[in-house]
Structure 1
Amino acid sequence: MITRRFSVINHLSVTQKLVLSFAFVIIVGSILLSLPISHYANSPETSYLDHLFNAVSMVCVTGLSVVPVSKAYNGFGQIISILLIQTGGLGLVSLIAFSTYTLKNKLGLSDQDLLQSALSRDNQKDLKAYLFNVYKITFSIEALAALVIMTDFIPRFGLGHGIFNSLFLAVSAFCNAGFDNLGTNSLQDYATNPTINLSVAFLIMSGGLGFAVWIDLIQMIRCYIKDRPRNWKLASRPFSNQSRLVLISTSCLLLGGTLLAWFLEMDNSKTIGTLNVWQQLLVSFFQTVTMRTAGFATISYTNANFTSNLLFMIQMFIGGGPGGTAGGIKVTTASIMFLLFKSVLSGNSRVVFRNRIISNKTVMQAFTVILFYLTMLLVGYVILLQTNPTLSPLALLFESVSAIATVGVSMDLTSSLNTMGRLVIMALMFIGRVGPITVLLSLMTKKEKHVSYAPTHISVG
């Protein structure tokens, strides 16, 4: 019987294995979180659906929750939460592969395809070395940032709780999960604390850039140290165009988003209007960073202006870099659409970046990802409107975008959703985490059909 089950699993497609791996971790995690051993003695009354919701949010590194971690789960439950977040951020597939390589076993070709897809790699070259580098980068950055956070948390919470809370926050921030074990209002109590703000922002950006960018950066630094070229331009030769596009687009989004958020909220006394200029810029910068699918908040979005929340939803939809812990359509997808628009306006028939042509296949994939996200978002939002008619339409839209982009910020709405609403949000979180990978895989595995037809004319606009 067991052999037959393994045979069935081996015959599944790569996309089916990816979906099942996430679903398996979610089910196991929800069961563990629902056990009495995971709860405080005086924790609020919860149902299995509440724990399932939290498990989906943790594995899909979103951050939405119907029961705050600090209120529901004790030390054991919070350790389970950390493991679910880390597993969701790095991916179950990469964890299994890491264990296999560590035990000096070999991966089959189908497993290598699965790992390559989970890491958003376009080839299997040096896959083992790449995977080990991913884990080195992850644990090094999390440990370094946790040490910095400890300088604030240990005096505040004591040695034991200070260390544990620092590790929890560091793992959650790097994985862009948005969970914390500090209270019920995220990081609003630390809105003007530079140590916490900058450390968490650094972790969010590190996880959201994508591991390929980090590996390129490390190689560039090594090249510069080893060869001592006359300038950085020579040292950056091995830097890929994808990494360049991610860094350029991320920098533009962070700078533009910070300035826009500051301009829109600077006179709002309910958010940042009572702070000095430097504190306003710090809070505005943090909101821009966290909207890259992290889910932490240092202001209440119910008090933010409508225009600001619209800006935040756009930032959530874009997300972070490919091959990392962030969600959204990815900055590369948004950048390709911008480059396409630029090419059309300039009369160029091809999409170009740094004097290199981006293939039509890549452009079509970008279109498909955007259409997929918009379709799923619209379907989920309409169902939420129908099943939760008493709740704010704007707050429901904000919640829907946050869920499918795996961000995790909320206009204090999640706990007010009815059972159907929570099921819809869980579905959006799962689709937002697994959906784009499966869509791209289905596109990449299908053979191109070269069929010629007679042209026709259709007016546009």
Structure 2
Amino acid sequence: MASYSLVFLSAKALDLANSYRMNPSLILASSFIVVILIGTFLLMLPKSTKEPIDLIDAFFISTSAVCVTGLSPIDISQIFTNFGLLVLSVLIQIGGLGLIAFTSVFAIFYAGSTSVYNQLLIRDMIYSKSMDALLPTLLYILGFTLSIETIGAFLIYVTVPSSLFTTLSDKLIFSAFHSMSAFCNAGFSNLKDGLSNEVLLKGNQFFYLVICALMFLGSIGFPILINLKDKLFWKLKKQLFPSTGEQTNFIRFDLNTKLVLITSSILVAAGTVLFLIFEYDGTLKDMSFFTKIVQSLFNAILPRTTGFASVNPADFQPSTILLVCLLMWIGGSSQSMAGGVKVNTVAVLFLNLKSIITGSDQTGAFHRAISEKAVLRAYAVAFIATVCVFVFSFILILLEPGQPIRSIIFEVMSALFTVGSSLGLTPVLSGESKFVLCIAMFLGRVGLLSILIGLLGHRGAKGCSFPNEHIIIN
């Protein structure tokens, strides 16, 4: 009932926004606000919690769930009932999939069709290459998500220690909740002490490998997942039904897929090695070598996507905290569950830097050129993200003068880039500071650049050209 109400009311909000022909980014932003407010109300219900919680805490958790961040001022494993966890799961799922894709699929099923404007809107939001592929793309997104989460829940069920649970239903709820939370990159846990629980750490390390796989899949983005699916099906078809004639309908990895997979792999490998080196005699000190490798991999993936914690970030070495901040800034892939400036952006920035250094006229890779518009957008995203870190950090420093600056900057980056890692600052923040972090989570999920384009994108000078003039840049 909770999920149906959320979807129904969100769809109504979407239809109202559509009637005014709003920019897709503004529709997404307004829809997120509606769901956050509905989620706040549902989390405040007596049947959602074992004890009453403050309005600001309910609003904060609802925002964190819809923005798939994972920050929380309270221990959800001790506060929320099974109904509250269900509400939280629905909020995470809606936020992870993207509200427009979610409500549009329901609109297709209940109304039977969508308007041309709706189809164009959905195409823009999910980056579908044609209107003919909208419904298959949306259904694939939902079907793939549910399939991966189901497989993930099964693997978690068989790898998690049974001694953690008193009943079979508790173990099933834990498995389903953590599979969804990991794939949607939310990072919430309904277990006391989360994934740093001592029984988990001393148990089967393959549990953490399953979580790693779910986090990584959720962080690479739906366009890449669709491209991977198409390539896999094409190869299977080629093997099962070999053609004697010329091969047709060849499926290739596009440039976006190649850049995301290569950049993500480099970040995971480098992050794992560096974390192992920095924390070998620190937070990993009393672990076996295999466990250290697994935990290093786990902690190399989660700063770019998810707010889980297997070891306390407050105990990290300064070099590790700096590494985590860099990984949080980078984040996952565009059109994924993850936040950050995105690996696509970082890849384009490095390729453009290479072209400038080498004197090339074009930015590109793998015999493909990247459009100038994409390069400029990459610089804009990186610039805005960096400025936002300074602005929100400055505001929190003014609001919380007694808190360490390191903890404030870390918390701001975790919220702004929808990561959810914490040095323990969130629970002790004032109501005003929590609201500031809510704004940071919202902007990090929706995208400040997208909102600015939606508001100001049609106010530029059209149809006129100005003379060029040189600016000195060293």
Query: TM-score scaled to structure 2, two decimals?
Result: 0.89
The 3-state SS of whatever aligns with 1:275 is: coil
List aligned pairs for 1:18-417, cutoff 5 A.
Answer: 18-40=28-50, 43=51, 45-103=52-110, 105-121=112-128, 123-153=130-160, 155-156=162-163, 157=165, 158-189=167-198, 190-191=200-201, 193-228=204-239, 237-268=251-282, 271-417=283-429
2:213 alignment partner AA: F
- Cα distance change, pair 375–266 in 1 and its aligned pair in 2 (3 A): same
The match for 1:17 among 16, 20, 27 is 27
The 3-state SS of whatever aligns with 1:349 is: coil
In structure 1, the partner of 2:5 is none
Q: Measure the CA separation in 1 of the matches of 2:85 and 2:457.
A: 39
- Structure 1: gaps of 5 or more residues: none
Deviation per residue, 1:111-165 (Å, 9 max, x gap): 2233223324465341111000101110000000100111144723131100011
How far the C-alpha of 1:442 sits from its partner, in A, is 6.4
Deviation per residue, 1:417-459 (Å, 9 max, x gap): 1112101110000000112543566688788956544333332
The match for 1:420 among 429, 432, 436 is 432
- Cα distance change, pair 19–76 in 1 and its aligned pair in 2 (3 A): same
Deviation per residue, 1:338-363 (Å, 9 max, x gap): 11111111111221111111011110
The 3-state SS of whatever aligns with 1:460 is: coil
1:316 alignment partner AA: M
1:183 alignment partner AA: K
Deviation per residue, 1:206-249 (Å, 9 max, x gap): 1111111111111111111111279xxx9984221111111111
How far the C-alpha of 1:184 sits from its partner, in A, is 3.6
- Cα distance change, pair 338–7 in 1 and its aligned pair in 2 (3 A): closer
How far the C-alpha of 1:186 sits from its partner, in A, is 4.2
The 3-state SS of whatever aligns with 1:103 is: helix
Q: Measure the CA separation in 2 of the matches of 1:438 and 1:105.
A: 30
The 3-state SS of whatever aligns with 1:13 is: coil
Preserved CA contact (<8 Å) 1:205 1:289: yes
Identity score, percent = 30
- Cα distance change, pair 258–444 in 1 and its aligned pair in 2 (3 A): farther
1:404 alignment partner AA: L
Query: TM-score scaled to structure 1, two decimals?
Result: 0.92
Preserved CA contact (<8 Å) 2:68 2:186: yes
Q: Measure the CA separation in 1 of the matches of 2:153 and 2:70.
A: 19
Deviates more, 1:119-128 or 1:281-290: 119-128
Deviates more, 1:100-109 or 1:193-202: 100-109
The 3-state SS of whatever aligns with 1:67 is: coil
In structure 2, the partner of 1:438 is 451
Deviation per residue, 1:4-59 (Å, 9 max, x gap): x976761151233211110011001110101111111xx3x521111110000000
Q: Measure the CA separation in 2 of the matches of 1:440 and 1:128.
A: 27
Deviation per residue, 1:298-344 (Å, 9 max, x gap): 11111101111111011011111111211111110011001111111
Provide the aligned length of Structure 1 versus Structure 2: 452
How far the C-alpha of 1:460 sits from its partner, in A, is 2.2
Q: Measure the CA separation in 1 of the matches of 2:456 and 2:17.
A: 24
1:116 alignment partner AA: R
How far the C-alpha of 1:265 sits from its partner, in A, is 1.3
In structure 2, the partner of 1:460 is 473
- Cα distance change, pair 153–351 in 1 and its aligned pair in 2 (3 A): same
Preserved CA contact (<8 Å) 1:337 1:366: yes
- Cα distance change, pair 410–425 in 1 and its aligned pair in 2 (3 A): same
The 3-state SS of whatever aligns with 1:70 is: helix
- Structure 2: gaps of 5 or more residues: 1-11
The 3-state SS of whatever aligns with 1:296 is: coil
- Cα distance change, pair 140–67 in 1 and its aligned pair in 2 (3 A): same
2:304 alignment partner AA: R
Q: Measure the CA separation in 1 of the matches of 2:275 and 2:44.
A: 39
RMSD: 2.5
Preserved CA contact (<8 Å) 1:153 1:165: no
